[in-house]
Amino acid sequence: MTIEEVKKEIEREGLEKFYENYLEWVKEKNKEIKGFLFFCEDLVKETIKELKNKSKSLPLYGIPIAIKDNILVKGIKCTAGSKILENYIATYDATVIKKIKESGAVIVGKTNMDEFAMGSSTENSAYFPTLNPFDKSRVPGGSSGGSAAVVGAGLVPIALGSDTGGSIRQPASFCGVYGLKPTYGAVSRYGLIAMASSLDQIGPIASNLDDLILLFEIIKGKDNKDSTSLDFPKEKTIKKEINSIGIPIECFENLDEKLKKLILSKIKKINIKIKEVSLKYIKYGIHCYYLIMPAEVSANLARYDGIRYGKREGIDLWDIYKTTRRKYLGNEVKRRIIIGTFVLSHGYYEAYYLKAQKLRRAIYEDFQKAFKEVDLIIMPTSPSLPFKLGEKTENPLEMYLSDIFTVPISLAGLPALNVPIGFMNNLPVGLQIVGNLFDEYKIFEFAKFLKD
C-alpha cells in the first residue's frame, strides 16, 4: 500500500466510504500480525469531519498513518507498551503529531512496541508480541516492531516509530520496508516518552521511498519546545553528486557469507566508486551503548514511581515506590534501570559512564574520518535474518547483539536509512545507508539507485 494508491481509492469512493470499509478491513487483517495495540476510531471520525473543510491538496489528505505508542496523541491512550501506563491518556499532541494532523493525515491506531522501547523483537511488550508479516513464527524486530509490521503487511502506507539504538532500522529490515533514523535533532522529540534522551529520535517508516521522504519533510525542523531540535540546513536539501561509498571492513569480516554476497552484489550494480574504510572503534559500540543508555533510562524512568504518573500500589511512600515498580514494570525495564543506577553510582561513574562517553566521542570521530574519504557508508542493518519468537528471550546479551550495526550510528548522532534489498530464505533483507550529519537527502539519492 502506497500513499498514491490510497489517494486513488479515496478519490473513487469518497473519504467517508473509504474509511467505513477500510477500518473494518484493517481491524480484521491486524488479527494476523497483532501490529496495532488499539485503534482510534473516534479520532478517525473526528478527523474525517475536519477534513471536509480542508483543502484536498494537503500532502497527506486522508492518508491513514500508524503511530508508535510512545508518541503522545491528545485524548488518546499512550502506554509505551507498559502496564504502568495502561490507563494514561495524553493531554497534548507531540510536535510530530501536530504536524501530521496539519498535513491532513488520519491517525488510525497506536502500534505495539517493546516496553518503553527497550527491546529488539517487540516480545517485551507488556500486552502481546507482534508477528512478522512474512513469517508468523518470527519476530518483526523492535522496538518499533508494531509500526514496521503494519507497514510491511500493507495495513497502512506510512507510520511513525522511534529509534534509540536501531529501533526503526532493525524492524524495518525484518519487515521489508524503509525506515529512517534522522540526524539527532532533525525531528522534535517533544511528546515522545523518553527512554535515553541523548539517543532517542522519532522517524518515518514506509513501504515506498517517496512516501518516506514526504513524511520526513513534514515532521523535520526546529521546535521551540525541544531545545535539542535544530533547523534542517537548506543547503543540505539540494541534490549533490555521490562520487564514492565506503564499506567498513569491520562490518563485513564475520558476516554470514550469503548475507554479505547479497548486500555487496546490490551495491556493485551501481556505477559509483566503492572504497573500503576502517571504523576501528565500531566494535565497541554495543559496550558503550549499554552503559550510556541504561544510565539515561535510570534517570528518565525515575518518574514512574506510583506518585506522579501511571498506576499506584502500596501503603506508605517506600511501599508505593517498591510495589508499583516491581508489579508494573517488566523484567527488561527493571534490568536496565538497575544497570543504569549502578553505572551512575559513587565510585563507578568515572570507571564506566565517563569512559563510555569518551568512547562515544571516539566512535563519532571514526565516522568523521571516514566521511573525509567517502560520501556515504554502507553497512548491514542486522547481522541476521528475522529470528524465531522466543529464540533470544532467555539470553539478553544475544538479543542486544541484534543491534550491533545500528547502535554505533545512534551514538554518533548520524542519519541512517534501512533499504529493503531482497530476500533470503523467503525473509526480507535490508542494508543501511549512513550519511554525515544532516545528509538525509544524500542518503535518499543513493537509495533511489538501489531501488532502480
- The residue annotated as part of the active site, out of 120, 167, 207, 229, is 167
Q: What is the CA radius of gyration of the chain?
A: 21
Distance of CA 350 to the CA centre of its chain: 31
- The residue annotated as part of the active site, out of 103, 121, 143, 402, is 143
Angle between helices 209-219 and 440-451 (to 10 degrees): 170
Q: Is the omega angle on the peptide bond into residue 162 within 30 degrees of 0, that is, cis? A: no
The verdict on whether 227 is a catalytic residue reads no
Contact indicator for 205, 152 with CB cutoff of 8 Å: no
Q: Cell numbers of 114, please? A: 517493546
The verdict on whether 120 is a catalytic residue reads no
Cα–Cα distance between 151 and 67 in angstroms, integer?
11
Contact indicator for 413, 437 with CB cutoff of 8 Å: yes
Q: Phi then psi for 285, rounded to 5 degrees?
A: -55, -45
The verdict on whether 57 is a catalytic residue reads no
- The residue annotated as part of the active site, out of 68, 98, 101, 110, is 68
Map residue 378 onto helix, strand or coil.
strand
Q: Cell numbers of 427, please? A: 525473509
Count Cβ atoms within 10 A of the Cβ of residue 239 and give its class: 0-12 exposed, 13-18 middle, 19 or more buried.
exposed
Say how many C-beta atoms besides its own lie within 10 A of residue 43's C-beta: 18
DSSP string, 249-262: HHHHSSS-HHHHHH
Entry field: residues in the chain: 452
Count Cβ atoms within 10 A of the Cβ of residue 341 and give its class: 0-12 exposed, 13-18 middle, 19 or more buried.
middle
Distance of CA 253 to the CA centre of its chain: 27
Contact indicator for 115, 124 with CB cutoff of 8 Å: yes
Of 191, 164, 193, 185, the closest CA to residue 229 belongs to: 185
Q: In DSSP terms, which residues pair with 244 in a beta bridge?
A: 273
> From residue 351, how far is each of 237, 345, 355, 358 by CA, in Å?
42, 10, 6, 11
Residues with catalytic annotation? 68, 143, 167
